[in-house]
Amino acid sequence: MTADASDAVEIRNALLRLRRTTGLPVAFGALMEAGRQMRISELSGTATHALRSLVVTSGNGLGGKTVVLARPCVVTDYSASRQISHEYDAPVAVEGLRSVLAVPVVVRHAVRGVLYGALRTAQPLGGRMLDEAVEAARDVERALVLREEARTLAAGGGAGAGREQVREAHAALRALAPKIADPGLRAELLDACALLTADATPSERVRLAPREVDVLACVAAGATNAVAAERLGVAPETVKGYLRSAMRKLRAGTRGEAVAAARRAGWLP
Kindly list the domain boundaries of the chain, sorted by start residue: 3-150, 155-197, 210-265
The CATH code that applies to domain 3-150 is 3.30.450.40
Check: CATH 1.10.390.10 for 210-265? Answer: no
Reported confidence tier of residue 203, pLDDT bands at 50, 70, 90: very low
Lowest mean pLDDT among 67-71, 78-82, 246-250: 246-250
Provide the pLDDT for residue 176: 79
Question: What does the H/E/C string look like for the chain?
Answer: CCCCHHHHHHHHHHHHHHHHHHCCCEEEEEEEECCCEEEEEEEECCCCCCCCCCEEECCCHHHHHHHHHCCCEEECCHHHCCCCCCCCHHHHHHHCCCCEEEEEEEECCEEEEEEEEECCCCCCCCCHHHHHHHHHHHHHHHHHHHHHHHHHHHHHCCCCCCHHHHHHHHHHHHHHHHHCCCHHHHHHHHHHHHHHCCCCCHHHCCCCCHHHHHHHHHHHCCCCHHHHHHHHCCCHHHHHHHHHHHHHHHCCCCHHHHHHHHHHCCCCC
| Average pLDDT across the chain, whole number | 84
Provide the pLDDT for residue 178: 78
Provide the pLDDT for residue 149: 63
Lowest mean pLDDT among 15-29, 107-121, 191-205: 191-205
Provide the pLDDT for residue 155: 56
Provide the pLDDT for residue 192: 74
Reported confidence tier of residue 88, pLDDT bands at 50, 70, 90: very high
Lowest mean pLDDT among 57-71, 145-159, 171-185: 145-159
Residue 237 has pLDDT above 70, yes or no: yes
The model's pTM is 0.60
What is the average per-residue pLDDT within 134-138? 90
